[in-house]
Structure formats: C-alpha cells, structure tokens
Amino acid sequence: MGILIRSFLLMLLSLPVGAGIAAADAPVKSHGDEIIAILGTGDMGDSFGPRLAGLGYKIVYGSRNPASKKVIDLVARTGNGASANTQKNAAQQGDIVFLALPWPAMETVVQSIGDLRGKILIDMSWPPATYAADGYEQITIETSSAEMIQGWNPDAMVVKAFLTLGSNVIDDPSTASGPVSVPIASNHRIAKEVTARLAAEMGLDPVDAGPLRFARNIESLTELMLVPYAQGRDEAWDFYFRRSNFFVCNAYEGDGSENLGQPVVDSENLADFPRTQPPLADCE
C-alpha cells in the first residue's frame, strides 16, 4: 500500500465511530478492549485469529477440541495472550463472536452456547445451497442464514459480513491485487460500526449494506461467485464496490429517481463507517 494511501487510511480510522448509538445497542467495551471469540478453527477461524491478534485484540478460540495439537499450535501462532476453550465458554467470554462455522453446524452451535444477549455475532456463512438442474449453485432458503441466526438469538446483535472474500484475503489483502469491499448488514448500528472498524483495520473496505435482511443480497452473491467454478474456469473474482455519487447527484424529475434519497424508516441504523476510499467531488 502506498505511503499516502496508508496515511489517509490511518487518518480515517482515527475518526470516532458510533456517535448517537441507541441505548439498547450500547457498545460492549471501548475500542480495542473487546475480547474476540472465534468459533471454529478451520480455514476462516485460523485466518481471522492471527490477523486480529496482530491488531492488538485478545482472541479466544472456541473449538470442539480445544486441547488438540491443531488448536494449541494455532493459539501459539496467534499470540497476544490468545487462548482456546469450548465453543460455549469462548462465546461467553467474547464481546464479539465470529461464527467461523459450517452452515450445517450453525443452528446446533448457536443454540447451545448460552445467553448471547448484547454480544455481536458475526456470521460469514455461505447459505445452504444445492445444484440446479443446469449445474449452477442455487440457494435453498428464502430468507438468509444471518436472519435465521438472529431469529434463534433475538437478544444478540447479528451481523452479516466477510462472506464475499476468501481466507487468503483475510491473511493478506494484497493477494487480491486491489481493494476488497466487505458489505455489512445488521439491524444494530453499533454492531455494524464495530465490524466495519475491524474490517478497515484489516485493510478491507467496509460498506454499509443496510438492515439484516440485506444479508439475502450478500448471500446471493455466493451464487454469482460460484458461476466461474460451475463453468470450470480457472479464474474467479474478488468484490470491490467503487464509490460513486452519480445517482445521488442526478435525480431526474418525473422518473421516480428524485425519490432515491427519501428517508429510510431505520435511519437510526445508518452506520458511520471509516472511509477507506478518497472523497468524491461534490455534485455540480
């Protein structure tokens, strides 16, 4: 990353995030003091842990086998006082809980790890899917995995994020050969802002993707992401949403676009995200 871009990013990250948070969504702890529980020590879990520990966060892994050599080695590689425990104990210790779990295990796990009231649950799971008759992947649920998790845990703050990137990009964002966006959806503003801060600190570009039901749109990207695999191609893509104010600046009278900026009902949920892209020119 160029030195100018890095300075710009650092400046942006130092801006306060989370002003005006509703009391029900009170932040768990102040910036950087949160304990991050990572449930699942597979491909995603063993990427997030070391990256976040390297940023100064305390990590506790939740594993079915916390005493296994795999997990002991991961804890050692993670450093910064990391530890491992059962999935339930880790979740109870964590202020932010990364659900780095396969979808088939999700319901059983998230319903057996105790009271999750007030915790931020970050769901990165690919939704359940099958192959359509033409060979392409097809999602089999009508809502989204994230909404199902929120339904099982109404007192937690569920966030959909990090589904659209591979663990290689968590390990090292430069492997994407360019910026990578992380669309983040949640019904809880503070949870979106905390997740956005973590994404930006990891060198990714957080995008406010609205309330949790937009997890459906994020999850539907997996169908798109798998098209090249279904076609047998040897290249796919990483997602990058480039900012634009074209539609904001160009409302055309009579075609309905003048209503694009009408206030949304959940305006309290509009998150204040760190900006990782340069500002756009004002509308003329």
Ligand X SMILES: NC(=O)c1ccc[n+]([C@@H]2O[C@H](COP(=O)([O-])OP(=O)(O)OC[C@H]3O[C@@H](n4cnc5c(N)ncnc54)[C@H](OP(=O)(O)O)[C@@H]3O)[C@@H](O)[C@H]2O)c1
Q: What is the binding site for ligand X (CB under 6 A)? A: 40-45, 63-65, 71, 100-103, 105, 109, 124-126, 163, 166-167
Tell me whether residue 105 or residue 226 sits nearer to ligand X (CB atom): 105
Residue 199 near residue 185 (C-beta atoms within 8 A): no
Cα gap 219→139, rounded to integer Å: 8
Q: What CA–CA distance (Å, rounded) separates 67 from 21?
A: 39
In the block, tokens 């931020």 appear at 120
* Nearer CB in complex with ligand X: 163/200: 163
CB of 227 to ligand X, least distance (A): 16
- DSSP SS3 for 209: coil
d(CA 222, CA 216) in angstroms, rounded, equals: 10
Q: Please, what is the minimum distance in Å from the beta carbon of residue 125 to ligand X?
A: 3
Could you count the other beta carbons within 10 Å of the beta carbon of residue 121? 27
Q: Which is nearer to ligand X, 186 or 269 (CB)?
A: 186
Return the number of the residue (236 or 260) whose C-beta is nearest ligand X: 236
Q: Decide: helix, strand or coil at residue 208.
A: strand
Q: Cβ closer to ligand X: 9 or 74?
A: 74
* Nearest distance from C-beta of residue 204 to ligand X, angstroms: 13
Task: For ligand X, give the closer residue by CB, 64 or 77.
Answer: 64
Minimum CB distance to ligand X smaller for 157 or for 161: 161
Vertex 182: Cα angle to 26 and 51 (nearest 5): 80
Secondary structure class of 176 (helix, strand, coil): helix
Is residue 44 within 8 A of residue 102, CB to CB? The reply is no
**Nearest approach, Cβ of residue 208 and ligand X (Å):** 20
Q: How many CA atoms lie within 13 A of 282 on its CB side?
A: 1
The tokens describing 277, both together, are 């892209």
Q: CB 118 → ligand X: shortest distance, Å? A: 23
Sheet holding 35-39, edge to edge: 83-85, 58-62, 35-39, 96-99, 120-123, 157-160, 181-186, 205-208
Query: In the complex, what is the shortest distance from the CB of residue 69 to ligand X, in angstroms, rounded to a whole number?
Result: 12
CB nearer ligand X, residue 27 or residue 128: 128
Whole-angstrom distance, CA of residue 65 vs CA of residue 283: 56
Smallest gap from Cβ 79 to ligand X, in A, equals 18
- CB of 65: closest distance to ligand X in angstroms? 6
**Closest residue by beta carbon to ligand X:** 42
